Chains A and B, each alone.
Chain A
Amino acid sequence: MRFEQLIEQYHDEIFAYLWRLLGKASSRDGAADVEDLTQDVFLRAYQNFERLRAGSNHRAWLYKIATNCAYSRFRGTRNGRGRLLRLKDTAIDEALERSPSSAEAVAKSRLAQRVRNLTNSLPTKQKAALVLRYLQELDYAEIAAIMNCSEPSARANVYQALRCLRAALSEER
């Protein structure tokens, strides 16, 4: 596969992955942050493209680079999760104020938002595993390769993430 094709085929998917992983708000600032990170991913991919063996899984390889870039970003952001959480809450509240809908829709939206916020507050590995499995729909073998861990460990991370979310939601009821 040529690098040009890699951009066309996987950019949007990687962008969406980073968007979800970083829990970005629907604001221009949030988009710029994800854009910068996406560019870092493709730059790193370009620098290492020659070393990629023929027949490799390009998609999983890009996800791996994206995950590592996101980890670096998390490490470089002090209290990053809390800050992102606040950004997200504000954005949704503003959106709801802008277009008020039925009470049921608002309740649903708030619940979805709550799940998303709880996801944002998960430990980085669990969050990445959960997003890769259920939002990006990768299989466990790919997730294990991306996260540099065994397949059972990838499954365990997803399981733990779901357990945390379930526990947090039941506590609120």
Chain B
Amino acid sequence: MSHRISRKDFSLVKRLRSGAGLPPADAACHSRQRIRDWFATAAPVIHWGAMDAPVGRIFVAASGQGLCALNFGVEEQEFVRRLDPRARLDSSPSAVAPITGQLKEYFARERFHFELPLDLSGLTPFQCSVLETLLRIPLGEVWTYRRLAGELGRPRSSRPVGQALAHNPIPIIIPCHRVIASDGNLGGYSGGFGIETKRWLLRFEGALPPASVPEGKGR
């Protein structure tokens, strides 16, 4: 069956269009405002801000539960795009000042561990347990993927553990850079400039003597 529109139907469509018109502008405006108001009360707020650091410009974001994202080596637009798309965003340096303040102290060698509430709600329970275990690695030390898996009670799960590290939304503060391969290879790192940033952080923390670890690239 052919469903082509005839010339007669075109005139019918024209009438349909002229008859349909548009809803009154004030009605549409009222409805739009009503939905904006609902969104303003229903959607969670994420405050975000940025700071300059030796590893480049660092972006941080915090929900009502705590720090939910940290990223560097990305453009502002990309950082914002990755935040929970259902949340309302608020660019507010003062709201994230406790976070950027502690980071500044860390880079000034005045802070050795962070005291910040974290929001890991977007992760699976396994990813959370991996990242929470990472917080036990003291500054200046490194663990292997195998040891981390062992600490989690899953000694044969080095690979899933490595994958969980790749999903770390809060690098530096959750120190995934302190995990390396058993053979001394640095493994992988997706923050900043990748493996070079990982090497820089480990040297900065004193965990990596400049020439003692091979500079091979890992995952």
Give the B-binding residues of A (Cβ under 8 A): 1-4, 7, 11-12, 15-16, 19-20, 24, 26, 31, 34-35, 38-39, 42-43, 46, 49-50, 108, 111-113, 115-116, 119, 130-131, 134-135, 152, 155-156, 158-159, 162, 165-166, 169
Contact = CB atoms under 8 A, between A and B. Distances in A.
Interface stretch (B38-46, B52-60, B157-165, B182-190): B38-46
B1 A2 contact: no
A156 B16 CA distance: 18
Contacts of B3: 152, 155-156, 158-159
B17 A116 contact: no
B36 A7 contact: yes
A7 B27 contact: no
Contacts, number: 110
B39 A3 contact: yes
A10 to B, nearest CB: 10
Contact of B28 (A15, A39, A113, A134): A15
B30 interface: yes
Contacts of A4: 39, 43, 88-89
Nearest to B83: A2
A39 B85 contact: no
B32 A7 contact: yes
A135 B27 CA distance: 19
A49 B15 contact: no
B19 interface: yes
Given A4-B88, A35-B27, A159-B3, A166 B9 contact: yes
A39 B35 contact: yes
Interface in B72-119: 85-86, 88-89
B86 A3 contact: yes
B42 A16 contact: no
Contact of B12 (A1, A3, A169): A169
B214 interface: no
Given A2-B86, A15-B28, A19-B23, 6 more contacts: A11-B35, A31-B27, A39-B31, A112-B18, A115-B12, A162-B5
A135 B32 contact: no
A65 B154 CA distance: 44
Given A31-B30, A38-B31, A162 B9 contact: yes
A35 B27 CA distance: 8
6 contacts: A15-B31, A31-B27, A39-B35, A42-B38, A115-B16, A159-B5
A9 to B, nearest CB: 11
A16 B36 CA distance: 17
Interface core residue of A26, A43, A135, A158 (most chain B CB under 10 Å): A135
B20 interface: yes
Contacts of B13: 134, 162
Contacts of B9: 162, 166
Nearest to A170: B8
